[in-house]
Amino acid sequence: MGKTEIPPGTLYMLILRSLDRNGPMHGYGIAQHIQQMSESVLQVEEGSLYPALQRMLIKGWVKAEWGLSENNRRARFYKLTPAGRKQVTAEVAEFTRVIEAITRVIQPA
Amino acid sequence: MERLGELWRRLLFLFQGSRFNREMEEEIRFHLESKTERIRESGISADEARYAARRRFGNAAALKEKTREAWGWSGLDRLAQDVKFAVRSLSRNPAFTLIVVLTLAFGIGVNTAIFSAVNALLLNPYPFPEADRIVSVDARHISGKNGATGYQDFLDWQRQNTVFESMAITPWTGEYTLTGQGEPQRIAGGGTTADFLRVLGIHPVLGRFFTTEEDQPSAPRVAVLTYESWRKRFNADPGVLGRAMTLDGTQLTIVGVLPPGFVFPGIEACGFFTPLHGPSTLGRTQHQYGVVARLKSGISLEQAQSEMSTIARRLEQQYPATNTGWGVKVQPLRDALAEWARTPVMFLFSTVGFVLLLACVNVSGLMLARASARGKEIAIRSSLGAGRGRIVRQILTETVLLSATGGAAGILLALWLMDVLRKVAPQQYALDAGLHLSPAVLLFTLLVSLLTGIVSGFVPAWNASGAEPSSTLKNDGNAWSRSRSRNRLMSSLVAGEVALSVILLAGAGLLAKSFILAMHVDTGIRADRLLTFRLALPQAKYSSKQQAAAFYRDLMDRLRSSPGVDAAAAVSTLPMTGGMQSGAFEVEGRPKAADWVDTSVQYSRSTPGYFHAAGIPILYGRDFDAQDTDSSLPVGIVNDTLARRFFPGQDPIGQRYKDAYDGKWRTIVGVAGSVKSQQPMNPPVPGLFCPHAQSPSNWMWITLRSRGDEAELTGMARAAVQGLDPDLPLLKIRTMREVVSDSLSGTRLLMQFLAGFAVFALLLDAIGIYGIVDYSVRQRKHEMGIRVALGASYRNVIGLVLRKGALPAAVGVLLGLPVALAASGMLRALLYGISPRDLTVFAGVPVVLLIVALGASFLPARRAAKVDPIVALRCE
**Residues B727-747 pLDDT 10s:** 788 888 889 988 888 888 878
- Give the separation between CA B491 and CA B534, rounded to whole angstroms: 60
Query: Around B659, how many Cα atoms within 13 Å sit in the side-chain half-sphere?
Result: 21
- Range B648-656 average pLDDT: 90
Distance CA B307, CA B330 (A): 10
Residue A31, Cβ density class (10 Å: 0-12 exposed, 13-18 middle, ≥19 buried): buried
The candidate with the shortest Cα–Cα distance to B424, out of B794, B771, B748, B90, is: B748
Interfacial B residues in 141-200 facing A (CB < 8 Å): none
Which band of pLDDT confidence, cut at 50, 70 and 90, is reported for residue B448?
A: very high
The shortest C-alpha distance from B43 to chain A (Å) reads 19
Sort out which chain B residues have CB atoms less than 8 A from A40's CB and list them.
Answer: none
Residues of B in contact with A26 (CB under 8 A): 27, 30-31
Whether B70 and A45 lie within 8 Å, measured CB to CB:
no
Mean pLDDT value across chain B: 83
Q: Where on the phi/psi map is residue A6: left (φ > 0), alpha (ψ -120 to 50), or beta?
A: beta
Residue B392: what pLDDT?
84
Q: Amino acid identity, residue B361?
A: V
For B:72-101, CB contacts with A below 8 A are: 72
Give first-to-last CA distance, chain B, whole Å.
68
B27–A27: do the CB atoms touch at under 8 Å?
yes
- pLDDT for the residue numbered A96: 92
What per-residue string of b and e applies to B313-351 under the rule 16 or more CB within 10 Å gives b? eebeeebeebbbbbbbbbbbbbebbbebbebbbbbbbeb
Q: Does B11 touch chain A (CB under 8 A)?
A: no
A84 touches chain B (CB under 8 A): no
- Residues of A within 8 A of B27 (CB-CB) are 26-27, 50, 75-76
CB < 8 Å to B66, chain A? 51
* B433 against B695, higher pLDDT: B695
Q: Domain map of chain A by residue range?
A: 11-106
Mean pLDDT to the nearest integer, B201-226 = 84
pLDDT tens-digit series, residues B271-282: 888 887 765 555
Chain B residues with CB inside 8 Å of A31's CB? 31
- Across the interface, whether the CB atoms of A27 and B31 are under 8 A apart is answered yes
In this predicted structure, the answer to whether residue B460 has a pLDDT above a threshold of 60 is yes
Give the pLDDT of residue B552: 92
Q: Calculate how close chain B gets to A105, using CA atoms only, in Å.
A: 36
Half-sphere exposure of B397 (CA within 13 A, CB side): 20
Contacts of A28 in chain B (CB under 8 A): 30-31, 34-35
Q: Render pLDDT for A33-91 as a digit per residue (tens, 0 to 9).
A: 888 888 777 777 788 888 889 888 888 899 999 998 888 888 999 999 999 999 999 99
Nearest-Cα residue of chain B relative to residue A29: B31
Residue B433 — very low, low, confident or very high, per pLDDT cuts 50/70/90?
Answer: low
Most confident stretch, B137-146, B198-207, B333-342, B782-791: B198-207
Nearest residue in chain B measured CA to CA from A47: B57
| Chain A residues with beta carbon closer than 8 angstroms to that of B61 | none
User: Kind of pairing, strands B134-141 and B326-332?
Assistant: antiparallel
Is B40 part of the contact surface with chain A (CB cutoff 8 Å)? Answer: no
Partner residues linked to A75 by β-bridges: A67
Q: Say if B10 is an interface residue toward chain A (CB within 8 Å).
A: yes
Predicted pLDDT of residue B569: 93
Residue A1's pLDDT is what? 41
Query: What is residue B672's predicted lDDT score, i.e. its pLDDT?
Result: 93
SS3 B264: coil
How does pLDDT run across B313-347, given as a tens digit for each residue?
898 888 877 777 788 888 888 777 777 777 888 88
The percentage of chain B sitting over the pLDDT mark of 70, rounded to a whole number, equals: 92
Partners of A55 on chain B (C-beta within 8 Å) are 70
CB B33 within 8 A of CB A81: no
Most confident of B333-342, B364-373, B721-730: B721-730
Q: Which fold has domain A11-106?
A: Arc Repressor Mutant, subunit A (1.10.10)
Q: Write the residue in B10, B27, B30 that is nearest to A58 by C-beta.
A: B10
Closest alpha carbon to B367 in B489, B498, B482, B471: B489
**Alpha-carbon gap: A96 to the closest alpha carbon of chain B (Å):** 25
CB distance B695 to B606 below 8 Å: no
Q: Is A46 in Cβ contact with B35 (below 8 Å)?
A: yes
Q: Name chain B contacts of A81, Cβ cutoff 8 Å.
A: none
B420 touches chain A (CB under 8 A): no
* B856 residue type, one letter: A
Contact yes or no for A59 and B67 at CB 8 A: no
User: For A34-42, which contacts have Cβ atoms below 8 Å and span 24 or more sequence positions?
Assistant: A41/A4, A42/A4, A42/A6, A42/A14
Task: Say if A73 is an interface residue toward chain B (CB within 8 Å).
Answer: yes
- Res B359: pLDDT: 92
Residues 221-280 of B with CB under 8 A from A: none
Three state DSSP letters for A52-84: HHHHHHHHCCEEEEEEECCCCCEEEEEEECHHH
pTM: 0.75
Bridge partners, residue B773, by sequence? none
Q: How far is A43 from chain B (nearest CA, A)?
A: 9
A74 touches chain B (CB under 8 A): yes
Q: State how far Cα B716 lies from the chain centre.
A: 38
- Residue range B486-528, pLDDT digits in tens: 778 888 888 999 999 999 999 999 999 988 888 888 888 888 8
List CB contacts (< 8 A) between B23 and chain A.
Answer: 66, 76
**CB of B703 closer than 8 Å to CB of B568:** yes
The more confidently predicted of residues B404 and B861 is: B404
pLDDT of residue B671: 94
Q: From chain A, pick out residues whose CB is under 8 angstroms from the CB of B56.
A: 45-46
Measured between CB atoms, does A37 come within 8 Å of chain B? Answer: no
Instruction: Tell me which H or E stretch contains B811.
Output: helix B794-823
pLDDT for residue B872 is more than 70: no
Residue B247's pLDDT band, with cuts at 50, 70 and 90, is confident
Q: A76 and chain B: CB distance < 8 Å anywhere?
A: yes
Can you tell me whether residue B704 is helix, strand or coil?
strand
Residues B587-625: tens digit of each pLDDT: 888 877 666 666 778 889 999 999 999 999 999 999 998
B389: enclosing H helix or E strand: helix B388-424
Distance from CA of B13 to the nearest CA of A (A): 9
What does the alpha-carbon distance between residue B13 and residue B771 come to, in Å, rounded to a whole number?
47
How many whole angstroms separate alpha carbon B687 and alpha carbon A64? Answer: 95
| One-letter identity of residue A48 | S
Q: What was the pLDDT predicted at B478?
A: 47
Q: Does the CB of A20 have a partner CB in chain B at under 8 Å?
A: no
- A82 to chain B, any CB pair closer than 8 A? The answer is no
Interface confidence (ipTM) of the complex = 0.87
On whether any CB of chain A is under 8 Å from the CB of B24, the answer is: yes
